[in-house]
Amino acid sequence: MMQHKLAIQARYCPEILERILRVTRHRGFQICALNMDHAEDSDNVSIELTVSSQRPVNLLFSQLMKLVDVAGVEIKHKKSQLISA
């Protein structure tokens, strides 16, 4: 499986995290880590999302960019993950 780290910039609204998580799950990606920062004096939120899947990360990238409140998505880095049985 491949792990991908995404940096997402979005307008802060109560449902933005739910929308991002729903799209991630529907596209077949598993969430490994999540970090969200929201400054009280800002209308924006920064979300760092680490996901894993055998699917191409571009599928998730393009769907996240279609969300109305998402201003930008950046693929930070990827690494292969070894799974031992």
> What are the sequence ranges of the domains in the chain?
2-76
Domain 2-76 has CATH 3.40.640.10: no
What's the mean pLDDT in 56-78?
Answer: 93
What's the mean pLDDT in 11-19?
Answer: 93
How many helices (H) and strands (E) in the chain?
Answer: 2, 4
- Entry pTM: 0.86
Q: Within a 10 A sphere around the Cβ of 12, how many other Cβ atoms? A: 16
Q: Is a pLDDT exceeding 70 seen at residue 70?
A: yes
